[in-house]
Structure formats: C-alpha cells, structure tokens
Amino acid sequence: MAISFFNHVKIAGFKTAIPERCINIDDEIEFFDNNPKKLARAKKIAGYGKRYVADKNTTVVDLAVDAASKLLQEMKVNSHEIDLLIFINQKPDYEAPCDASIAHGMLGLEKNCATLNLNLGCSGYVSGLWQAFSLLENGNLKKCLILAGDIPARDLDIKDRKRAPVFGDAASATLIEYTENPSPSTFVLGTDGKGWDKIIYPFNGRRIPLDNNLLNLKIETPSGYQWDYSQGILKGEDIFYFTMDVAPELIIQTLSQANWKKEDVDLYAIHQANKQIIENIIDKAQIPAEKTPSDVFSKYANNSTTSVVTVLCDQPKDKKFGKTLLCVFGIGLSWGGATLDLEGVYNGGIYTYISPKNKPTREELINYWIKCIKGE
Amino acid sequence: MNQNEFLSAMEDVLQTEDTLSMDTILEDLVEWDSLSVMATMAFLDKNFGIKTTMSDYKTMKTIGDIAKKAGL
C-alpha cells in the first residue's frame, strides 16, 4: 500500500502564474443559443466562469520558470540552494528532453541539483510532493523546487464545448524544505492502470506514430467541432464515476491514516475538475462545504496538474494556513491524498505572466532547428 | 424519498422553473441537455446508489422513467 508518513519536510511557499488572455463565459452566449437563461444555468450547474489561455508562443515551462524565479526572489532563496527540481506535467515542450532539464537551465540551478520529471496530469501534484518529501525526509537534501502545470486550454478549439469552457492554463512553483522541527504529513496514493485508456492522447507516441493519414485525420463530432490527433479522448461517463467513487473514499482514507477528524481540517483543497464534481465529492465525503473551495474553478477553470495549487494560491494573502488536505485524481487513472501542516507557509498568490516581446516565434524556432540540422 | 420529494428534487437538479410531473416528457424540457444528464447521474448515484449510463437516458422518455430507475 502506498501510504507514507513524513515528519521533517514542509512546504515553505508557493506561487502561481496565469497567462494574460482571459476568456469569460459571459462573452460566449452565442454557444448557449444566445439565451441568457441557458448561460446562467450552465454557470450555476457546471460553474463555468473565467479561464486564462496562453498565447501560441507561451508554454508551461515559460509560466512555471517565471513563477519559480519570482517565488525564490520573494522568499529570498538563492538558486544555488536548490538540491532537487521536480517538474510535473502531462504535455512537455519537446518530445525530448524532459521539461525538468530545460527549467533547470533557465533557472540557472547548480550542476549538483538533481532533476526529475513526472508525466502525470490532474493527479500529479500530490505524486510530486510525495517524491520530494521522500527524498528530503532524511535531511541529505535540504531544498526542492516543484514546478507543476499544463496548458490544456491553449490548443483547444473554442467550438469544442465539452472541453473549451472547462480548461484553463496555469503553472506553479512550490518550495519544499527539510525541517528539524517536526511537521507531520501523510500521503495516500493509488492507481487503476486498467483505466489507462479512459483519458488518452492515442496518436503521436511510439505505439501509433503520426503519419500523413493521421496528421490529416479530421472527425466530425456530435458536439459540432472537428477532432484531430492533437485532441485527446476523455471518456466522460467513466471518468465521472471514477471521480465519484475514488475521491470521497480517498479523503476519508487519508484523514483516517493521518488520524485527523473532518473538523480538524482548515482547508480541503480538491482538484478543480468542475464545480459539479467538487460539490458531489463534498456531499459524498460529507466534508464542510465552507472549507472546500469549488469557486476556484469559476475563477480560473480546471488547471489540470496545478489546479490544487491554484486553490492554495487563491486563498487570501493574509490567511493563516493550518491543517490542509489535498485530494487529486485524473489521467492514469491515478489519485493522491495528502494531509499537510501549512502553518507559516508563504503564499505568493496568483499573478499574470507577461509574455516577453522578444520571445522567438514558431517560425523562428523551426528555422533555428533547420539550420542546426544542416550544420549551418 | 417519496415521489413528490423526488419531483421537487429533480426540479432542483435540472434547475428548471417548470413544475415536473411523472408524465413530463424529457425532450419537452428546454433544460434537458448533457449538463442535466450528468446532474441526474450524480443525483441517482448519491441518493439511491444507482449508476446510470449515458445510453440509459436515450431510452428514457419521461421523468417517471427516471423515477423507475431510482426504484420509486
């Protein structure tokens, strides 16, 4: 059983970057037959609201590295103090190498700082924390940076009404530290690998590499948008029940392993899949709604890998953090629960990442690589 | 949950201003869309422990058909 207890590691701070462009569901009434009642109903039931979408030249690495350098600066931590960098995301900047290496270079970390990359989505943050806590517990490593994020919204077709209103782009940086003073935490992780195909991008890996046929494959979907290879497949009904079955049980199990009562918890930070799912989890797990934000989804949408950090960073800056429960679930299928004592944590909040004007465009990057290949 | 309680709960689930009866035709409700199907699935799972599928809703015609699924 993947149940772990730690006593000498804590989260020291976190910060979240979102892109500039904001899409508000109120501006999309055309997709609700121009009917204000239908729009209001979708807002009430699913919680649709605002979402932030990266521009074509911005990636998850840009957002995460910017958040990390600001976090280190604000917390007055020097980059040479970082012993470990963990990058968690589902869709990397390049097919290879992994984003952890790229971020390590961009942040100017020391050569004796180790890197790890986890290929996970919505459940990834707790897995990354768990690895960091495992590696720091004995005090050999003192400081770890976790970069988590994805840009699920950037390349979505706005006509894809199943997913476009649901996802928003964001990335976060979290600083983890070894601590002499006891800071107990509990982790419960799980996987249902038989559900590997429930959320999947089937093409463009080594099992089914892209060819011209797949590249040009367009499928008309019942909801009226064209599916191409870059769009994933999400088996909504299966995922829905997976969430309803796994998440409430995970919360109960994590609390029980930590020996915490429901009322001990100051904040339940649950992956913001959508408002309806969070409300169902609250009902089924019978946890207090006032301590379990579901409105973060309406403010930033589902930020995939980093959505639970968005919940933490969205708390008021002067809020005193305490006993916190994290609950995440998603692609894999996989899930993770954690109880943490966040007393004294630094909340760097959520800020807008401004894309530098001189950032190379797609064409410039392609030309650069062509020149490399030609040996120019 | 009796039938009347079920009807009023379904009005809330569907967020409809119409008064529902067991004979209300689902297709006649403007609110009967994919959001409502998901909300109904969650409602039946939470309150009756019954897991319905999307395809179940293709064969259901009335609110009464949903009540039958719930065992009412």
Provide the domain limits for residue B64. Answer: 3-69
Chain A residue with minimum CA distance to B51:
A241
Whether A176 contacts A143, CB under 8 Å: yes
pLDDT band, very low/low/confident/very high, at B53 (cuts 50, 70, 90): confident
Q: What is the separation of C-alpha A98 from the centre of its chain, rounded to a whole number of angstroms?
A: 17
The CATH number for B11's domain is 1.10.1200.10
Chain A residue with minimum CA distance to B32:
A38
CA distance A236 to chain B (A): 9
Which one of B12, B16, B31, B35 would you mutate to disrupt binding with A, by most A Cβ within 10 Å of its Cβ? B35
Residues of B in contact with A37 (CB under 8 A): 30
CB contact under 8 A, B42 and A244: yes
CB contact under 8 A, B51 and A284: no
Question: Which residue of A41, A276, A284 is in closest CB contact with B38?
Answer: A276
Mean pLDDT per block of 10 residues along chain A (376 residues) reads 95 98 96 89 92 96 98 97 97 95 97 97 97 97 98 91 93 98 97 95 93 93 84 87 93 97 97 93 95 97 97 95 97 97 97 94 95 93
Helices (H), chain A: 36-46, 60-74, 99-107, 124-136, 212-215, 236-258, 275-285, 296-300, 307-313, 362-374
Residues of A in contact with B31 (CB under 8 A): 41
The ipTM estimated for the assembled molecules is 0.78
CA distance A38 to chain B (A): 8
CA distance B22 to chain A (A): 23
Mean pLDDT for B49-56 is 86
CA distance A293 to chain B (A): 19
Provide the number of structural domains found in chain B: 1
Query: 3-state DSSP call for residue A195?
Result: helix
Mean pLDDT for B18-30 is 90
Question: Which residue of B31, B38, B51 is in closest CB contact with A41?
Answer: B31
Residues of B in contact with A276 (CB under 8 A): 38-39, 42
Residue B35: the pLDDT is: 82
What is the residue whose two structure tokens read 């899949």?
A273
CATH code for residues A3-198+235-374: 3.40.47.10
Neighbouring C-beta atoms of residue A283, cutoff 10 Å: 15
CA angle A245–A248–A249, rounded 5-degree value: 75
Q: Cα(A236)–Cα(A155) distance, rounded to whole angstroms? A: 20
CB contact under 8 A, A276 and B39: yes
**What's the token pair of residue A302?**
């589902």
Whether A69 contacts A61, CB under 8 Å: no
Residue A296: the pLDDT is: 97
CA distance A284 to chain B (A): 7
Residue B1: the pLDDT is: 87
Residue B61: the pLDDT is: 92
Question: Which residue of B30, B42, B45 is in closest CB contact with A276?
Answer: B42
